[in-house]
Amino acid sequence: MTKKLIKAITDFQEEEALKLVQDLLDQGTEPAEVMEACRKALDEIGQHFEQGTFFLPELMMAGEMMNQITEIIKPKLAELPETKRYGKVIIGTVEGDIHDIGKNIVSFMLDVNGFEVIDLGVDVPSKKFVDAINEFQPQVVALSGFLTLAFDVMKDTVTAIESAGLRDKVKIMIGGGQINEEIKEYAGADGYGKDAMAGVSFAKKWANHK
């Protein structure tokens, strides 16, 4: 049925896609497996966009559909019983980038796993991260971005945190569709997470060390 879901998303059959997500979850499919199917569908849509067979409206429709799917999946993810507050995480999509579906999932997963999350939104300038670190004193800073231009901006953001004398006060993790270990090294971050749970693992490890 995940194949059907991928097809429904790439065909922009929104109602059908939402129904399939619900059916899959009702039948006991892991939320992570459903998310993976959605990711594949979005990749496919992204490829069409790159090849010039889809345009911005299709990307927007895909984003809207994904937001709705996330809303259906969230309650399943939130079944994890967790009340303890481990620490604080500041999260945001870096300057120049407005992709926030992934960031919102990470933010939500951190929240239900016991972190206080300060979400700075999208297109966040490095100064805003610096100001938020000063204000909220988090243990962890999470940078998200999907565009390749985010690579340099993530590096600049890490540099700005360093220049403000705050680098040894926080651990920095990065993530987003095109981010990998190499970009982590390039940006000077402490960790790269391929998905939201990887972000939660880093945050737990780092917050406990404080």
Contact footprint for ligand B12 (CB under 6 A): 39, 42-43, 45-47, 49-50, 56, 59-60, 62-63, 66, 96-103, 105-106, 142, 144, 146-148, 173-177, 193, 195-196, 198-199
Nearest approach in angstroms of CB 106 to ligand B12 is 5
Residue matched to tokens 């345009």: 55
Strand order in the sheet with 140-144: 115-119, 87-93, 140-144, 171-175, 191-192
Nearest approach in angstroms of CB 48 to ligand B12 is 8
Residue in the shown chain whose Cβ atom is closest to ligand B12 = 102
Give the separation between CA 199 and CA 104, rounded to whole angstroms: 12
Residue number, 17 or 173, with CB nearest to ligand B12:
173
Residue number, 76 or 99, with CB nearest to ligand B12:
99
Residue number, 34 or 66, with CB nearest to ligand B12:
66
Nearest to 154 by CA among 108, 64, 71, 93: 93
Residue number, 130 or 173, with CB nearest to ligand B12:
173
Nearest approach in angstroms of CB 71 to ligand B12 is 13
Residue number, 87 or 177, with CB nearest to ligand B12:
177
Give the separation between CA 10 and CA 28, rounded to whole angstroms: 23
Residue matched to tokens 């190499």: 182
Nearest approach in angstroms of CB 40 to ligand B12 is 9
- Cα angle for residues 197, 158, 190 (degrees, 5° grid): 40
191 has which bridge partners?
173
Nearest approach in angstroms of CB 155 to ligand B12 is 15
Nearest to 82 by CA among 194, 175, 209, 204: 204
